[in-house]
Structure 1
Amino acid sequence: MTHTPPPSLAPHPNIVPREQLSFGFDQDIPKYWLAGNPFKTRFCDAMSTIFPEGERFFISCVRDFRDQVTDPQLLAEIKDFIRQEGQHGIVHNQFNAHLVKQGIQVDRLEAHMKWWLFDVLRKRLPKKHTLAITASAEHLTAIMAEALFQRKEVMDAADPRMYAMYAWHAMEEMEHKAVAFDVMQKVAKVAYLRRVVALLQTTLSFNLNVLVFTNIMLRQDGFSRWQRIKLFAKGLGWVYGPGGMFMGTWRSYLRYFKPGFHPWQEPPTPVYALWLDTFNRTGDPVEAGRVVYASAN
C-alpha cells in the first residue's frame, strides 16, 4: 500500500521499521572487506563510526518540532522515521564493536562526532537550522544510497554481509527521505536560503569528517604517512572521480537548490523494489543484499 501523493510527486513506499536483523557480525568478517582494499574499506568504516551519533542528532532535530505537527500521516511517518534511524544506530554500533577489536579507537571518533553535533551545532544554532541540516543530510544519504547500489563496480567484491548492511540502510533511507524535509517545510517553515546554506554546510562537513576519519583509521592500521598519501591518491578517484561512488549523483544533488524541490519528485531507485520483494519473501537482509548485488549493472 502506498500513500496518495500530491499530483506533482511520485508514488512512494511506506516507512517500515525492520528490527532484530542479523547480518552475521558474529562471524569472521575480513579486515579489508571491500575488495581487500584498505582505503575503500576504511572510507565505509568511517561512515559507520559517524552514523550512530548522526542518527541520534537527526532524531533530536525532528523531535524539536514534533509537538507542532497536526497532520496524522506526518506524525505516523515521524514515528517510523525515529524507529528506523534508531535501528540504524544500533546495527552500526554492533559493527563498530568489530572495528574496536581491530584496534580502531571508535570511542574517540564517536566522541568527536558527539561534540560536533550536540555541543556545537545543537547548542549554538537555531533549531530551524539544525532541522535544515537534518533534511540536507537525508537528501545526501538518499542520493548516495542510489549511487552505491545501482552500479556494481562501486561496491564490487564486498563481503556479502557488509554489502547487505549498507544495502538495508540505503533502502530504508529511500523510504524516509522526505520526513525531515516535510517537517522543515510544512511545520518549521524554513526559508529557502537557510535550506540551501544547510546543504552546503552539510556537504562540506560530511565529506571532511569521513576523509579525516579514514586517514585516522589507516594510521591506526599502521600505514605510514607516505603510504596513506598513495592510498588517498588512488582511492579519491573511487569516491569522486569518473565511475566513482558519486558519479551520477550531481543532478539529484543540484535539484535540492530548486525553490520548488521535494524529495518525492524522484521515486526510489528500481533496486529498492527488488530488495523489498526479496526481503519480504525471505526475511533475510543478507539474501536481499545478494539479489541487489547480482542485479547491479
Structure 2
Amino acid sequence: MSSHKETIVVRKDLNFGLTSEDIPTYWQDGDPYKTRVFDAIQATFPDGERFFISSVRAFKDKIQDSVLRQEVRDFTMQEGQHGIVHANYNKRLKRQGIPIEKFTSRIKRVMDKRLQDNSPEYNIALTSAFEHYTAMMAELFFAHKSSTEGADDRIRAMFAWHAIEEMEHRAVAFDVMKRVARVGYFRRALAMTHVTVGFSLYSLIAPFFMLRADDFSRRQCLAMFVKGLPWQLDIYARLLPMLLTYFRPGFHPEDMPAVHNYEAWLSKYEESHDPIAAAKAMHEAAY
C-alpha cells in the first residue's frame, strides 16, 4: 500500500477574528443544533491537547530516531497552538452564557485521571486513537461543500486549520505507540473502542446541555435532535469506513491520503498567510 506523508509545519499567531462581535451565535447556517455539536466537540480540545502532549512526552527519552524526535517536537508545538486557539473559543462560548467551565472541568478531571491511573502505554494508545479521529475530521467536514455550507468564514477557518495540521501530524502518536512504546494490536484496538464509545456518547449528549443553556426547552431540544439526526447519521456513515481501517492489523495512518483539497488550503496559506482565505480556497475546492 502506498504511503502518504505531509510535512509538519508549526504555524503560530494565526488570527481568526474570534473576538468579533458580528459572529452569529449559531454560526453553522443559523442552525442551533449543528452549531452546538461543533461547539461541544471543540470544547474538549484544550484539555485533550494537553493529554495528547503528555502521553507522547512520556516516551520522549526513549526515542532514538532523530526524525521521530523532531516530529514529536513539531507535534507538541502544533497541539499547543490548537489548545490556545480553542481555549480562546471557549471564552466566546462563556460570553454567550454557556457554562463552559462545567464542560472543561469535567474533561480536565477525566484526562488527569487517565494520566494518573493508566499505564503510559495505554495513554499513548488512547492518544493515537484520538489523533485518528481528529485527522478524519478533515475528510468528514471539508471534503464536501455541503458539510460546512453556510458556516461563518472565521469559525470554519479555525476548524479547517486544525484539521489540516491534524492531517500533517496524524502518524506521530501512532509511531511513538508502535515503535517506542511497543503497544500491541489488542491494546491499540481496545483503546480505539474506548475512544469511539466515549466520543459517540459525548457528541450526542453534550450539545443537548448547551442548547438547554441557550434556554431552549427539553421539547425544543428533542425536536432539534430529531431534525439534526439525519445530518449526524450521515457523518457517522462516512466516518465508519475510515474508522474501521484503524482495526486492520497492518494499518498505518499514512496509508490514508490527506483530504483531496489539502493542497488548496496549503497553497493559499503560503501565498497569503491568511487562514480565512485558505479555508475559503479549501471550501471552493471541495466536492
Q: Place the TM-score, normalised by the shorter chain, in its bin.
A: over 0.9
Contact 1:103 1:221 in 2 (8 A): yes
Q: Which residue does 1:156 correspond to in 2? A: 149
Letter in 1 for 2:76: I
C-alpha separation in 1, matches of 2:3 and 2:264: 18
Please, what TM-score do these two structures have when normalized by structure 2?
0.97
SS of residue in 2 equivalent to 1:260: coil
Q: Is the deviation greater in 137-146 or in 219-228?
A: 137-146
Q: Which residue does 1:26 correspond to in 2? A: 19
Q: Which residue does 1:214 correspond to in 2? A: 207
Deviation at 1:9, TM superposition (A): 4.2
Contact 2:4 2:258 in 1 (8 A): no
Which whole-Å deviations, capped at 9, do the CAs of 1:140-160 have from their partners, x for residues lacking one? 111122110011111110000
Q: Which residue does 2:286 correspond to in 1? A: 296
Which whole-Å deviations, capped at 9, do the CAs of 1:194-221 have from their partners, x for residues lacking one? 0001001001111222332211100000
Letter in 2 for 1:180: A
C-alpha separation in 2, matches of 1:144 and 1:236: 18
Contact 2:49 2:83 in 1 (8 A): yes
Q: Does 1:233 align with 2:219?
A: no
Deviation at 1:127, TM superposition (A): 1.1
Contact 1:147 1:247 in 2 (8 A): no
Structure 1 vs Structure 2 CA RMSD: 1.1
Letter in 2 for 1:214: P
SS of residue in 2 equivalent to 1:203: helix
C-alpha separation in 1, matches of 2:213 and 2:145: 29
C-alpha separation in 2, matches of 1:11 and 1:219: 43
Deviation at 1:93, TM superposition (A): 1.0
| Candidates 54, 61, 66, aligned match of 1:60 | 54
Letter in 1 for 2:111: L
Q: Which residue does 1:3 correspond to in 2? A: none
Q: Which residue does 2:45 correspond to in 1? A: 51
Q: Does 1:132 align with 2:125?
A: yes
Q: Which residue does 2:82 correspond to in 1? A: 88
Q: Is the deviation greater in 137-146 or in 108-117?
A: 137-146
Contact 2:29 2:151 in 1 (8 A): yes
Deviation at 1:190, TM superposition (A): 0.3
Contact 2:4 2:256 in 1 (8 A): no
Identity %: 43
Which whole-Å deviations, capped at 9, do the CAs of 1:256-294 have from their partners, x for residues lacking one? 111111011122112111100010000000000111112
Kindly report structure 1 stretches of 4+ aligned residues shifted beyond 4 Å. none
Please, what TM-score do these two structures have when normalized by structure 1?
0.94
Contact 1:132 1:194 in 2 (8 A): yes
Gaps of 5+ in 2: none
Deviation at 1:246, TM superposition (A): 3.4
Contact 1:133 1:198 in 2 (8 A): yes
Q: Does 1:266 align with 2:260?
A: no
Letter in 1 for 2:168: E
Deviation at 1:236, TM superposition (A): 2.2
Contact 1:42 1:218 in 2 (8 A): yes
C-alpha separation in 1, matches of 2:204 and 2:46: 17
Q: Which residue does 2:72 correspond to in 1? A: 78
| Candidates 99, 104, 108, aligned match of 2:98 | 104
Which whole-Å deviations, capped at 9, do the CAs of 1:46-97 have from their partners, x for residues lacking one? 0121100000000000001111000000000000000000000101111111
C-alpha separation in 2, matches of 1:25 and 1:261: 38
State the aligned residue count: 286
Pairing 1:5-16 to 2, within 5 Å after superposition? 8-16=1-9
